[in-house]
Chains A and B, each alone.
Chain A
């Protein structure tokens, strides 16, 4: 097996006149925490939707876990997890019903379900609240439950599209602890965010702007690059890097 979780080659998607994703080439190694950054409308979500097989590219190619998304989307979907910026579990189902639904979707057997359910309830801090309607949970808890549901089937690769938007800093910190835990188990994480301090949590980053990748590297590497380029005395913050990169494009 190759050590590459995601590889895209000149991936392109156009909506009418608008080039949402313009010839994006990326490589994400297995086990990485890959940060996918960029302002709103820069093409992050469209890229993820293509990588998860929800959207077909107009040009270029993408391999996810070694399978071509245009050919084997069904195969890929069994092995990936996805969690979006919007809380997308069924709010009118209980915690347990949501988990049972997703377990059924991935065809987990009874024993595996009980085991995974235990894990998720523990991980999401929902012990004793299994019968509660999901809609009544706090945003932070919902987010963790969504993560749990997206990992019921122990995916090799997890796409997280702005998973922490609208969550308070404490819950966000806790959420990242969970992500590291998953990463420690060998799960590849593909995370979009526009919280710059979160970008530093990633092992590697790519900056998107107007459908193109405008910078790529480790957080440290990107910061140093900018430092040398602008001749700064101190290493710039992630925030500075973001502003600098975007302004350079305008």
Chain B
């Protein structure tokens, strides 16, 4: 193996990259576009949920409950319907996504030391608003209870104390649910897309044009070619990754609670899978269009089944086992775990081992298959 020839191949690759205005634009624009899409559009839908307060109790206590909701950023009280029937119409027409129903007699029950049900109605047709809405509502209810109990001097027995019962629980990151998990996940997704798409195209293009054949009657060895091909795109992927990480941390102010080394280990292991898949795609495709289709074919189940957009916990039981076969799932576990929960190597041993397994098998398989195919 000659370092000189590898450098030569990389130099050539960068020159070609510079001459491919579409590709370079794609590479630079993609992280930016995805950050905006996932950072603002997908994550932003959880603020200012149009909310209706149905106050059937009409006491000062019930008004306080209503105000707690309108004071929060997450709910925007847009209506005060007088009855359940009026509420139904508001939800049906989509004017309201969340409703808080304070039953008649709530104040009395609380005064008697009983627990009082608080109706929280969410529009299930918009699942993300529904999840976020019920999550925030439960938080607000909890804080109302806490405040009420503190005032009555019962703070110590908080957990057992009766009060408003909203019965909705959300674990971890209940405030800005989407953004804080979306951006760490985005790091893995961008890495996957750019490595797979670009790498699969790059090898196929060379086969299509015949330059591959030409290179292999020269002293260039298969391994040199592979390294010279992969390295430039790996560097680009790392640059994209850093861009996303920096924007995520500084602009979107996504907290990172864990050790960077944990996240980087996960990323490095995941890269092996992404590179391997890119090479495999380039192997089974004989034209650039085929490679493109093959990548799309792989990408959709990856995005949907990894838990990047839809939580795995809410998938049907029949689908759940399939998600174990998606390397991206484990990359998300590691990145989100490290960023959101501050998880360390021990906590993330399972996904990290899964990533190593996938990485080693896919990457080695791809390299062996590519070397064989190239000869």
Chain A residues close to B by CB (< 8 Å): 52-56, 74, 77-78, 80, 82, 84, 86-93, 97, 101-102, 104-107, 133, 159
Chain B residues close to A by CB (< 8 Å): 2, 4-5, 8, 11-12, 15-16, 19-20, 209-211, 213-221, 375
CB proximity of A34 to chain B, nearest CB, Å: 17
Residues of B within 8 A of A159 (CB): 217
Residue of A nearest to B216 (CB): A54
Interchain CB contact (< 8 A) of B217 among A53, A86, A87, A91:
A53
- With A88-B209, A88-B210, A93-B16: A54-B218 Cβ-Cβ less than 8 Å: no
Chain A interface SS verdict (over half) = loop
- With A84-B210, A105-B220, A106-B219: A92-B20 Cβ-Cβ less than 8 Å: yes
CA distance A82 to B219 in the complex (A): 12
CB proximity of A142 to chain B, nearest CB, Å: 12
Query: Do A104 and B8 touch (CB < 8 A)?
Result: yes
Sample (22) of A-B pairs whose CB atoms are under 8 Å apart: A53-B217, A54-B216, A77-B217, A77-B218, A78-B219, A80-B217, A82-B218, A84-B213, A86-B210, A86-B213, A87-B210, A88-B211, A91-B209, A92-B15, A92-B16, A97-B12, A101-B8, A101-B11, A104-B5, A107-B219, A133-B19, A159-B217
CA distance A78 to B15 in the complex (A): 25
Residues of B within 8 A of A93 (CB): 12, 15-16, 19
CA distance A41 to B10 in the complex (A): 36
Residues of B within 8 A of A92 (CB): 15-16, 19-20
Residues of B within 8 A of A77 (CB): 217-219
Residue of B nearest to A76 (CB): B217
CB proximity of A41 to chain B, nearest CB, Å: 18
Residues of B within 8 A of A102 (CB): 218
Residue of B nearest to A74 (CB): B219
Supply 17 further A-B pairs (C-beta < 8 A) apart from A78-B219, A86-B209, A97-B12: A54-B213, A54-B216, A54-B375, A77-B217, A77-B218, A84-B210, A86-B213, A87-B210, A90-B12, A90-B211, A92-B16, A92-B19, A93-B12, A93-B19, A101-B12, A104-B4, A106-B218
Query: Do A82 and B210 touch (CB < 8 A)?
Result: no
CA distance A77 to B20 in the complex (A): 31
CA distance A55 to B12 in the complex (A): 26
